[in-house]
Amino acid sequence: MKSIVVVGAQWGDEGKGKVVDYMAASFDYVARCAGGHNAGHTVIYDGHRFVLQLIPCGMLRPGRHAVIGTGVVVDPAALVAELDSLGKAGIDVNGRLHLSNRAHVIFPYHRQMEKAAEAALGEAKIGTTSRGIGPAYEDKMARSGIRICDLMEPARFREKLSRVVRDKDAICRAAFGAPLEVQGLAEQYLAYAERLRPFVTDTTSLLNEALDRNQSVLFEGAQGTMLDIDYGTYPFVTSSNATAGGACTGLGVPPTRISGVVGITKAYTTRVGSGPFPTEMPDLEAGEVRDRGKEYGAVTGRPRRCGWLDLAVLRYAVMLNGITSLVVTKLDVFDTQREIQVCVGYRRKGSPSGTGSLLRDMPPAAEDFAQITPEYRTLPGWLATTEGVRDPSLLPKAAVEYLKFISGELGVEIGMISTGPERDATIVPAETQLASWL
């Protein structure tokens, strides 16, 4: 049985799209388990650039199946737009795309309510992607959500929608002084329903039966460990479980059927939106990394905040997700860096650096991050190009030392190194666990 979870080990945008696309060549199914079109997964090959938001990247590999699981929140308008753009690119999804009948649906009122809630927070806003993700998960947990299986039954759908709209309109008027925008909503969504109907199925049985037949499944994580609703930098997080456990709950595949977990990290760290970021670089240094790494949101176009690699975050990610093989992406972005700082752990502010033990646990509250400071080691840069390198023996010595340092500190192998956005700018060292999964 081969069923591997790919999870973001930082604050998202680690390069999951690139890595999943690469690995998908060796899998039958690629499945998304959480999040929605807040995700933006970039895949580049043969001069084409795709940014997939809801459809798993496996769709770009001929013959592979792509599953949008129960844990995903689906905006039908976004999904239809994505289907249209894949259609224009000549990618045939028929018979290969499968959408969970239990997934929850995002409505325009979710976006409207999110916008109002973010505005009310002022300076303390989360900096969400404004896609209605949080409010849709709120409805799911409040047990008032509308699911794909409801959308497929017009009478039931109309009845549920009118009940929800009545309640939400009252909330919206009371809390934000505005009526809910619902003009023509039922008709619009029922039109989407007909477009999506051919893909709707019980994805839980689909995947478990595929595993019974000894077919392989790659779980495409969205967001990242530090954005996880339970374990991230709450409340500056997304509203779902972005950690590896989300693959089981979000797809109905039991933990006993997961055979491995791959974590992805950039050679540095980025984050979009507000919230703690201990290793964030000063503006000038961040600017250079942002330019070289083209660090602008794939979904919102927002400039990403940039910082040094944070091994406290990665250690936490290794523990939480059970990562046994790590992928390091964007190594090439550091090609011009004379010196590289790496955070090896956190220390309480005011305690002397260099000696004594580092903090063992990740601070639980966003406020606690103001009390800690990163402890850095400085490593030499390589000042040579790694762009597009595919043979590990061609990597500069200092780059190899950097990777060895990361692997040694975390106690996990580096199973893959990405040296550019293109599919083939990839190194998979032989003899690694990851290589055995491909």
Which residues belong to the active site? 13, 41
Q: Does 7 bind ligand IMO (CB under 6 A)?
A: no
Using the rule CB under 6 A, give the single segment among 7-15, 282-290, 306-314, 325-333 that binds ligand IMO: 7-15
Angle subtended by helix axes 154-176 and 185-196, to nearest 10: 130
CA–CA distances in Å: residue 115 to residues 8, 12, 112, 126, 239: 26, 22, 5, 11, 15
Question: Applying CB under 6 A, which of residues 3, 4, 7, 13 lies at the interface with ligand GDP?
Answer: 13
Question: Applying CB under 6 A, which of residues 8, 71, 76, 420 lies at the interface with ligand IMO?
Answer: 8
Using the rule CB under 6 A, give the single segment among 63-71, 222-230, 338-346, 428-436 that binds ligand IMO: 222-230
Question: Applying CB under 6 A, which of residues 7, 286, 298, 395 lies at the interface with ligand GDP?
Answer: 298
For ligand GDP, the closer CB: 261 or 372: 261
The string of DSSP codes covering 32-73 is E-SB-TT--EEEEETTEEEEESSS-GGGGSTT-EEEE-TTBE
For ligand IMO, the closer CB: 295 or 375: 295
Question: Applying CB under 6 A, which of residues 43, 272, 340, 395 lies at the interface with ligand IMO?
Answer: 272
Residue 235 near residue 183, CB atoms below 8 Å? no
Q: Does 134 bind ligand IMO (CB under 6 A)?
A: yes
290 binds, among ligand IMO, ligand GDP, Mg ion, none (CB under 5 to 8 A by kind): none
245 binds, among ligand IMO, ligand GDP, Mg ion, none (CB under 5 to 8 A by kind): none
- Give the CA-trace dihedral at 54, 57, 58, 61, to 10 degrees: 130
H-only helix segments in 234-386: 245-251, 283-293, 311-321
Length of the chain: 438
**Contact code string over 93-122 relative to Mg ion, x by CB under 5 A:** ------------------------------
323 three-class SS: coil
Token pair, residue 19, equals 């890595």
CA–CA distances in Å: residue 147 to residues 17, 99, 102, 157, 347: 27, 11, 6, 9, 46
Binding site for ligand IMO (CB under 6 A): 8, 12-13, 38-41, 126-129, 131, 133-134, 222-224, 227, 238-239, 272-273
